Structure 1
Amino acid sequence: MSPASFLVIPQWQGSGSSRAMRLIDGADAIRGDLPTTATHSVAVPAAAGEALGTGVLRYSSLTLVRELAEAELAVLEAPVVTIGGDCAADLASVQHAVASHPAGSVAVVWFDAHGDLNNVSTSPSGAFHGMVVRALLGDGPDGLAATGPARLHHEQLVLAGTRALDDGESAFVDRVGIRLVGPDGFDDPQTLVAAVEATGASAVYLHVDLDVLDPSAVDGIGFPEPFGVSPEQLSDAIRALRARFELVGAAITEFAPESPEAAGRDLPVILRVLGALTGPLRDVG
């Protein structure tokens, strides 16, 4: 694997959490441990933005961030590890990775307690971080939905560690047959490897929402869900995927610490996940 580039996108506008602004602090906390020469940033607008009749809260700011991120990605050396921000912080990063490789060759593994598979008609909140995967699949407002070679097909998607789906999301997963590996599937890292092998992909993009972890492992998340995976299980799964497939991009998202002191308590776990994404591989069994 080539040395990673890092793109920090402290986007908060996609979040539906009352602590959304803390996502800025979370991104800044992680940035402090990244190599300066390999780290770039997107200047996220301060304005919340307007829905503009799309049904997506803060739509105008979200589309602007996507455009700014696309400009940065065009000049960065892959693989790029995006540091969010909310779950939509790497919208452009996923689309860029998918579009930069032959059709069907990239699988996206979405490590997340939630599916993020709502669309405008099913979303209970209007917050885009719950719609980002559906937009990657091409279902969303102009300026956010993936099109052309950037569009992800459902056969290329694997939900990992997911355990809290809205009714509309569950219906969509069942209808199109999206692959899902629940937390119990992390006992053996090869379970997730097999799920990606079934997509026919030769490369992976790994999106990590920190709420995939059990709440006992990390405090600074806005939407904790019980019965998540351990940091060791997540790290082993990531390394197993990297050992089998080319890593074409990754992200760590949804870190929203309550204070600098709280961020310091969570950072060892986050840096362990970051190390799994970018560090030397070891035998994962």
Structure 2
Amino acid sequence: MKKQISIIGAPMDLGQSRRGVDMGPSAIKYAGLVKRLEAIGYDVEDYGDIEISRPDKKEQDHLLLKNLKAVTETNERLYHAVSDIIEKDRFPLVLGGDHSIAIGTLAGVAKPHKNLGVIWYDAHGDLNTAEISPSGNIHGMPLAASLGLGHASLTSIGGYQSKVKPENVVIIGARSLDKGEKELIREKNIRVFTMHEIDRLGMTAVMNDAINYLKDRTDGVHLSLDLDGLDPSDAPGVGTPVLGGISYRESHLAMEMLSEADIITSAEFVEVNPIIDEKNKTAEAAVALAGSLFGEKLL
């Protein structure tokens, strides 16, 4: 990994219906992210927060996609911010906000790569489109949009389509998939490690498989870590908690193995909601996991 990190806040909560996740970047910084990374030896720049568009009440939104215009505008700004950081040869670390911000992040990080890989660490697949989404919430659509599937406003962020190929995606921790997402996973042959595989094989085997699968076929790997990938007992402050998730220790092991593999070229941590958190527990978990990802050792 590059030794220069730029942290970008994307405090958006428009991709879903539960308020509070817009305070996620502040909560993660308050939990000591910058000090933690500097203590490991990184040069850390706080890029600040991007501007978040607000829904225009006078303008009718897309019927099947909530806050489409505002989410699109915000992701375009995030795309430019991430692109600016990459041009400076620094590592972009994005803090959400809801997971819809991954549309802008991936648009920025994919552009300089011919074959970007993505590790989607999440309880959900986020592979919905307007036609198959049960809710119309765009935070359930960013991976689909990044594959080039869905509304043109979302798939064309950054001025180009298909930021990542289906065969370069690995989903880890899935345990809540909608019917349409399951069909898409089978159709596109997307590699998914559900909680069944993690329970049965163990996190070491899962991460070894994911790393070996991606390292030879990609020229960089983006980590998109949704804190709801963890079990709610370890990360209670998320908007869409799902029981039976990855443990805190398993998540540290996963991050430690990614650090040792040295394949991660960009990352984002999303869906921390301090309003429903317990004494900033989820934000502190995000900071601790970032420490492991960036090479922090127990000894």
In structure 2, C-alpha distance between the alignment counterparts of 1:47 and 1:120, rounded to whole Å: 18
Tell me the SS of whatever aligns to 2:93.
strand
Looking at structure 1, the residues matched to 183 and 78 of structure 2 have their Cα atoms a distance apart, in angstroms, of: 32
TM-score in terms of structure 1 length: 0.88
Offset of residue 130 of structure 1 = 0.7
Matching residue's letter, 1:272: A
Q: Which residue of 2 aligns with 1:275?
A: 291
**1:151-174 deviation digits (Å, cap 9, x = unpaired):** 211001111001110011111111
TM-score by structure 2 length? 0.84
Count, aligned residues: 277
| Post-superposition offset of 1:52 | 3.8
* Amino acid paired to 2:5: A
Paired amino acid for 1:121: E
- Indicate the residue corresponding to 1:198 in structure 2: 213
1:67-126 per-position Cα deviation (integer Å, ceiling 9, x unaligned): 21122123214321110000012322112222212x22x210000101001111100111
Q: Partner residue of 1:229?
A: 246
User: Mean Cα displacement is larger for which, 114-123 or 90-99?
Assistant: 90-99
Match of 2:229 among 207, 212, 219: 212
Q: 1:281 to 1:153 in 2, by over 3 A?
A: farther
Q: What is aligned with 2:40?
A: none
Unmatched 5+ stretches in structure 1: none
Matched residues in 2 for 1:222 and 1:249: separation? Answer: 24
Contact 1:8/1:83, CA 8 A, preserved across alignment:
yes
3-state SS of 1:94 partner? helix
- Taking structure 1 as reference, are residues 53 and 188 closer, same or farther at Cα in structure 2, changes over 3 Å only? closer
Calculate the aligned-residue CA RMSD, in Å: 2.4
C-alpha distance in 2, partners of 1:264/1:275? 17
Identify which range, 196-205 or 88-97, moves more after superposition: 196-205
Encode CA deviations 1:184-231: one digit per residue, 9 max, x unaligned: 544233422323422422431111111100111121111111111111
Find out whether 1:127 has 2:132 as its counterpart. Answer: no
Alignment-mate amino acid for residue 136 of structure 2: G
SS of structure 1 residue aligned to 2:257: helix
Greater fraction helix: 2
| Contact 2:14/2:67, CA 8 A, preserved across alignment | yes
Deviation, 1:240, is: 1.1
State the alpha-carbon separation in 2 of the partners of residues 165 and 149 from structure 1.
24
Matching residue of 1:262: 278
Q: Which residue of structure 1 aligns with residue 13 of structure 2? A: 12
Whether 2:6 is the aligned partner of 1:24: answer no
Q: Measure how far apart 1:270 and its partner are.
A: 2.0
2:270 and 2:60 map into 1 onto residues whose CA distance is 23
Q: 1:149 to 1:243 in 2, by over 3 A?
A: farther
Distance in 2 separating the partners of 1:93 and 1:205: 9
Unaligned runs of 5+ in 2: 36-43
Give the distance between the partners of 2:106 and 2:179, measured in 1 at CA. Answer: 25
Distance in 2 of aligned mates of 1:263 and 1:209: 19
In structure 1, C-alpha distance between the alignment counterparts of 2:225 and 2:60, rounded to whole Å:
27
CA distance in 1, matches of 2:227, 2:240: 10
Task: Report the Cα offset of residue 281 of structure 1.
Answer: 5.9
Structure 2: which amino acid aligns with 1:167?
K
Question: Post-superposition shift, 1:258?
Answer: 2.2
Opposite residue 179 of structure 1, the aligned amino acid is R
What is the distance in 1 between the residues matched to 2:253 and 2:226?
Answer: 16
Pairwise mapping of residues 100-115 of structure 1 onto structure 2 (< 5 A)? 100-101=112-113, 103-104=114-115, 106-115=116-125
Identity across aligned pairs (percent)? 25
